[in-house]
Protein backbone atom coordinates (compact mmCIF):
# COMPACT_ATOMS: atom_id res chain seq x y z
CA UNK A 1 0.00 0.00 0.00
CA UNK A 2 1.21 3.50 -0.83
CA UNK A 3 1.98 5.52 2.30
CA UNK A 4 -0.46 8.20 1.09
CA UNK A 5 -3.36 5.76 0.83
CA UNK A 6 -5.99 4.72 3.36
CA UNK A 7 -7.79 1.38 3.58
CA UNK A 8 -11.58 1.36 3.34
CA UNK A 9 -14.32 -1.24 3.68
CA UNK A 10 -17.24 -1.05 1.24
CA UNK A 11 -20.68 -2.42 2.10
CA UNK A 12 -22.12 -3.64 -1.22
CA UNK A 13 -25.43 -5.10 -2.43
CA UNK A 14 -26.18 -6.76 -5.75
CA UNK A 15 -28.76 -8.78 -7.63
CA UNK A 16 -26.79 -11.68 -9.03
CA UNK A 17 -29.17 -12.97 -11.72
CA UNK A 18 -27.18 -11.64 -14.70
CA UNK A 19 -23.68 -12.18 -13.32
CA UNK A 20 -21.27 -15.14 -13.18
CA UNK A 21 -20.62 -14.53 -9.49
CA UNK A 22 -18.52 -12.18 -7.39
CA UNK A 23 -15.02 -13.37 -8.30
CA UNK A 24 -13.05 -11.41 -10.90
CA UNK A 25 -12.87 -13.37 -14.18
CA UNK A 26 -11.41 -13.01 -17.67
CA UNK A 27 -13.68 -12.48 -20.69
CA UNK A 28 -16.82 -12.20 -18.51
CA UNK A 29 -18.16 -9.43 -16.31
CA UNK A 30 -18.36 -10.48 -12.65
CA UNK A 31 -19.41 -8.17 -9.81
CA UNK A 32 -15.78 -7.60 -8.81
CA UNK A 33 -14.91 -6.67 -12.42
CA UNK A 34 -17.68 -4.07 -12.51
CA UNK A 35 -16.71 -2.44 -9.22
CA UNK A 36 -13.02 -2.28 -10.12
CA UNK A 37 -13.76 -0.87 -13.58
CA UNK A 38 -16.08 1.90 -12.35
CA UNK A 39 -13.89 2.78 -9.38
CA UNK A 40 -10.83 2.98 -11.64
CA UNK A 41 -12.70 5.51 -13.80
CA UNK A 42 -13.78 7.56 -10.79
CA UNK A 43 -10.39 7.62 -9.05
CA UNK A 44 -8.41 7.76 -12.34
CA UNK A 45 -6.12 4.92 -11.28
CA UNK A 46 -6.18 1.14 -11.39
CA UNK A 47 -8.28 -0.17 -8.50
CA UNK A 48 -8.22 -3.68 -7.06
CA UNK A 49 -10.61 -4.81 -4.33
CA UNK A 50 -10.77 -7.89 -2.07
CA UNK A 51 -14.16 -9.36 -1.17
CA UNK A 52 -15.31 -11.07 2.02
CA UNK A 53 -16.97 -13.99 0.20
CA UNK A 54 -17.01 -15.46 -3.30
CA UNK A 55 -20.68 -15.81 -4.20
CA UNK A 56 -21.50 -18.11 -7.13
CA UNK A 57 -23.23 -17.31 -10.41
CA UNK A 58 -26.79 -16.11 -9.87
CA UNK A 59 -26.36 -15.64 -6.11
CA UNK A 60 -27.33 -12.28 -4.57
CA UNK A 61 -25.89 -10.18 -1.75
CA UNK A 62 -27.78 -7.97 0.68
CA UNK A 63 -24.45 -7.14 2.31
CA UNK A 64 -21.12 -8.05 0.77
CA UNK A 65 -17.95 -6.40 2.06
CA UNK A 66 -14.76 -5.61 0.17
CA UNK A 67 -11.63 -3.71 1.13
CA UNK A 68 -9.78 -1.25 -1.08
CA UNK A 69 -6.83 1.13 -0.72
CA UNK A 70 -7.57 4.70 -1.84
CA UNK A 71 -6.31 8.25 -1.42
CA UNK A 72 -7.91 9.68 1.76
CA UNK A 73 -11.59 10.47 1.22
CA UNK A 74 -12.83 13.70 2.73
CA UNK A 75 -16.51 12.81 2.51
CA UNK A 76 -17.51 9.12 2.59
CA UNK A 77 -21.20 9.73 1.81
CA UNK A 78 -20.34 11.84 -1.20
CA UNK A 79 -18.01 9.14 -2.52
CA UNK A 80 -20.82 6.58 -2.17
CA UNK A 81 -23.19 8.83 -4.11
CA UNK A 82 -20.82 9.46 -7.02
CA UNK A 83 -19.74 5.83 -7.34
CA UNK A 84 -23.35 4.66 -7.42
CA UNK A 85 -23.99 6.98 -10.39
CA UNK A 86 -21.45 4.94 -12.35
CA UNK A 87 -22.57 1.47 -11.27
CA UNK A 88 -25.34 -0.51 -13.04
CA UNK A 89 -28.76 -0.65 -11.41
CA UNK A 90 -28.21 -4.16 -10.03
CA UNK A 91 -25.07 -3.21 -8.06
CA UNK A 92 -24.94 -0.66 -5.22
CA UNK A 93 -22.46 0.58 -2.64
CA UNK A 94 -24.38 1.17 0.60
CA UNK A 95 -21.62 2.56 2.81
CA UNK A 96 -17.88 3.13 2.89
CA UNK A 97 -15.99 2.83 6.19
CA UNK A 98 -12.48 3.93 7.04
CA UNK A 99 -10.60 1.04 8.66
CA UNK A 100 -7.13 0.24 9.93
CA UNK A 101 -4.61 -0.34 7.18
CA UNK A 102 -4.12 -4.02 8.01
CA UNK A 103 -7.87 -4.80 8.07
CA UNK A 104 -8.87 -7.57 5.67
CA UNK A 105 -12.40 -8.04 4.32
CA UNK A 106 -12.10 -11.82 4.11
CA UNK A 107 -9.80 -12.89 6.93
CA UNK A 108 -11.07 -10.48 9.60
CA UNK A 109 -14.73 -11.51 9.22
CA UNK A 110 -15.90 -13.30 12.35
CA UNK A 111 -19.43 -14.17 11.27
CA UNK A 112 -21.37 -14.52 8.03
CA UNK A 113 -25.08 -15.11 7.46
CA UNK A 114 -26.74 -16.53 4.35
CA UNK A 115 -30.45 -16.79 3.70
CA UNK A 116 -32.26 -18.94 1.15
CA UNK A 117 -35.72 -17.93 -0.06
CA UNK A 118 -38.37 -20.31 -1.37
CA UNK A 119 -41.77 -19.31 -2.76
CA UNK A 120 -44.67 -21.82 -2.71
CA UNK A 121 -46.97 -19.89 -5.06
CA UNK A 122 -46.00 -19.04 -8.63
CA UNK A 123 -45.07 -15.37 -8.84
CA UNK A 124 -43.42 -13.86 -11.93
CA UNK A 125 -41.92 -11.06 -9.82
CA UNK A 126 -39.89 -13.48 -7.68
CA UNK A 127 -38.70 -15.77 -10.48
CA UNK A 128 -35.10 -14.51 -10.21
CA UNK A 129 -35.02 -13.92 -6.45
CA UNK A 130 -36.67 -17.06 -5.01
CA UNK A 131 -36.73 -20.79 -5.68
CA UNK A 132 -40.25 -21.76 -6.74
CA UNK A 133 -41.28 -25.06 -5.13
CA UNK A 134 -44.87 -26.29 -4.89
CA UNK A 135 -44.10 -29.74 -3.49
CA UNK A 136 -45.23 -30.40 0.05
CA UNK A 137 -42.53 -30.45 2.70
CA UNK A 138 -42.53 -32.17 6.08
CA UNK A 139 -41.53 -29.39 8.45
CA UNK A 140 -40.92 -31.84 11.30
CA UNK A 141 -38.39 -33.79 9.21
CA UNK A 142 -36.65 -30.59 8.11
CA UNK A 143 -36.36 -29.37 11.70
CA UNK A 144 -34.86 -32.72 12.68
CA UNK A 145 -32.33 -32.32 9.88
CA UNK A 146 -31.50 -28.78 11.00
CA UNK A 147 -31.06 -29.94 14.58
CA UNK A 148 -28.54 -32.56 13.49
CA UNK A 149 -26.71 -30.28 11.02
CA UNK A 150 -26.42 -27.57 13.68
CA UNK A 151 -24.23 -29.91 15.75
CA UNK A 152 -22.02 -30.76 12.76
CA UNK A 153 -18.54 -29.23 12.44
CA UNK A 154 -17.09 -31.04 9.40
CA UNK A 155 -18.93 -30.08 6.20
CA UNK A 156 -16.74 -31.83 3.63
CA UNK A 157 -19.82 -33.70 2.34
CA UNK A 158 -21.41 -30.35 1.47
CA UNK A 159 -18.45 -28.67 -0.23
CA UNK A 160 -17.51 -28.52 -3.91
CA UNK A 161 -13.98 -29.64 -4.68
CA UNK A 162 -11.55 -26.81 -4.04
CA UNK A 163 -7.77 -27.50 -4.04
CA UNK A 164 -7.13 -24.32 -2.03
CA UNK A 165 -9.36 -25.46 0.85
CA UNK A 166 -7.16 -26.34 3.83
CA UNK A 167 -9.91 -27.84 5.99
CA UNK A 168 -13.67 -28.36 6.08
CA UNK A 169 -14.42 -27.29 9.65
CA UNK A 170 -17.12 -24.68 10.18
CA UNK A 171 -18.66 -23.43 13.41
CA UNK A 172 -22.43 -23.03 13.04
CA UNK A 173 -23.87 -20.28 15.27
CA UNK A 174 -27.50 -20.50 14.12
CA UNK A 175 -29.66 -22.36 11.61
CA UNK A 176 -33.40 -21.71 11.22
CA UNK A 177 -36.33 -22.49 8.92
CA UNK A 178 -39.30 -20.08 8.87
CA UNK A 179 -42.55 -20.38 6.92
CA UNK A 180 -44.84 -17.36 6.55
CA UNK A 181 -47.81 -17.87 4.21
CA UNK A 182 -46.33 -18.81 0.81
CA UNK A 183 -42.72 -17.92 1.58
CA UNK A 184 -40.05 -20.04 3.28
CA UNK A 185 -36.78 -18.56 4.52
CA UNK A 186 -33.83 -20.67 5.59
CA UNK A 187 -31.10 -18.83 7.52
CA UNK A 188 -27.64 -20.03 8.49
CA UNK A 189 -24.91 -18.17 10.40
CA UNK A 190 -21.35 -19.45 10.78
CA UNK A 191 -17.76 -18.33 11.15
CA UNK A 192 -17.01 -19.47 7.57
CA UNK A 193 -18.60 -21.23 4.61
CA UNK A 194 -17.22 -23.67 2.06
CA UNK A 195 -17.76 -23.46 -1.68
CA UNK A 196 -21.35 -24.42 -2.50
CA UNK A 197 -22.02 -25.32 1.12
CA UNK A 198 -25.29 -23.45 1.71
CA UNK A 199 -26.94 -24.55 -1.53
CA UNK A 200 -25.90 -28.15 -0.78
CA UNK A 201 -27.38 -27.95 2.73
CA UNK A 202 -30.65 -26.46 1.45
CA UNK A 203 -30.87 -29.02 -1.34
CA UNK A 204 -30.35 -31.82 1.17
CA UNK A 205 -32.96 -30.43 3.58
CA UNK A 206 -35.46 -30.17 0.73
CA UNK A 207 -34.85 -33.86 -0.03
CA UNK A 208 -35.39 -34.63 3.67
CA UNK A 209 -38.58 -32.55 3.67
CA UNK A 210 -39.89 -34.43 0.62
CA UNK A 211 -39.04 -37.79 2.25
CA UNK A 212 -36.49 -38.57 -0.47
CA UNK A 213 -33.86 -38.81 2.28
CA UNK A 214 -34.31 -39.96 5.86
CA UNK A 215 -32.49 -38.58 8.90
CA UNK A 216 -30.47 -41.81 8.89
CA UNK A 217 -29.46 -41.03 5.27
CA UNK A 218 -28.49 -37.51 6.32
CA UNK A 219 -26.31 -38.84 9.13
CA UNK A 220 -24.57 -41.16 6.66
CA UNK A 221 -23.93 -38.28 4.27
CA UNK A 222 -22.30 -36.26 7.05
CA UNK A 223 -20.20 -39.15 8.37
CA UNK A 224 -19.01 -40.23 4.89
CA UNK A 225 -17.28 -36.83 4.48
CA UNK A 226 -17.29 -37.36 0.71
CA UNK A 227 -19.29 -35.08 -1.59
CA UNK A 228 -18.82 -37.40 -4.58
CA UNK A 229 -20.50 -40.35 -2.84
CA UNK A 230 -23.33 -38.41 -1.21
CA UNK A 231 -25.14 -37.42 -4.46
CA UNK A 232 -26.37 -34.21 -2.88
CA UNK A 233 -28.66 -32.03 -4.98
CA UNK A 234 -27.75 -28.35 -5.08
CA UNK A 235 -30.60 -25.90 -4.49
CA UNK A 236 -30.93 -23.38 -7.37
CA UNK A 237 -28.76 -20.28 -7.11
CA UNK A 238 -31.50 -17.64 -7.45
CA UNK A 239 -32.84 -18.23 -3.92
CA UNK A 240 -29.51 -17.63 -2.14
CA UNK A 241 -28.41 -14.35 -0.54
CA UNK A 242 -25.33 -13.33 1.41
CA UNK A 243 -27.22 -11.43 4.10
CA UNK A 244 -24.55 -10.01 6.41
CA UNK A 245 -20.88 -10.07 7.38
CA UNK A 246 -19.72 -9.11 10.88
CA UNK A 247 -16.31 -7.76 11.88
CA UNK A 248 -14.73 -6.87 15.22
CA UNK A 249 -15.28 -3.22 16.14
CA UNK A 250 -11.60 -2.48 16.67
CA UNK A 251 -10.70 -2.56 12.94
CA UNK A 252 -12.92 0.48 12.26
CA UNK A 253 -11.67 4.01 12.88
CA UNK A 254 -13.92 5.85 15.37
CA UNK A 255 -14.72 8.82 13.12
CA UNK A 256 -18.17 10.42 13.50
CA UNK A 257 -19.36 9.53 9.99
CA UNK A 258 -17.87 6.05 10.23
CA UNK A 259 -19.54 5.27 13.56
CA UNK A 260 -23.01 6.37 12.47
CA UNK A 261 -22.84 4.31 9.27
CA UNK A 262 -21.51 1.24 11.09
CA UNK A 263 -24.21 1.35 13.77
CA UNK A 264 -26.88 1.67 11.10
CA UNK A 265 -25.47 -1.41 9.33
CA UNK A 266 -25.56 -3.48 12.54
CA UNK A 267 -29.19 -2.51 13.20
CA UNK A 268 -30.50 -3.10 9.68
Is position 56 annotated as part of the catalytic site?
A: yes
Instruction: Work out the widest C-alpha separation in the chain, in whole angstroms.
Output: 60
- Distance CA(42)–CA(44), nearest Å, equals 6
Pick the catalytic residue: 11, 56, 108, 217? 56
Residue 57 dihedral angles phi and psi, to the nearest 5°: -55, 130
> DSSP states of 42-55 as a string?
HHTS----EES---
In 3D space, the residue among 6, 66, 7, 10 whose CA is nearest the CA of residue 261 turns out to be 10
Residue from 241, 240, 246 nearest 13 by CA:
241
According to DSSP, the residues that pair with 141 across neighbouring strands are none
DSSP bridge pairs for 172 = 190
**194 within 8 A of 168, measured Cβ to Cβ:** yes
Q: Which of 243, 194, 199, 214 is nearest to 148 (CA)?
A: 214
Residues with catalytic roles? 56
Amino acid sequence: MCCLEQRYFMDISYLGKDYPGWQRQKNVTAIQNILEEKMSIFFQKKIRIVGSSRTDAGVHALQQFAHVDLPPLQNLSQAVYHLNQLLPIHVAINQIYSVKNDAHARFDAIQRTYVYKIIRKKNPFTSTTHHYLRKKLCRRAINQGIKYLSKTTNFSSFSKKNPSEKHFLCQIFAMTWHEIEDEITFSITANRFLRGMVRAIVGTLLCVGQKQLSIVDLKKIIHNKDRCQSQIKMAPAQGLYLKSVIYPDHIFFPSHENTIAFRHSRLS
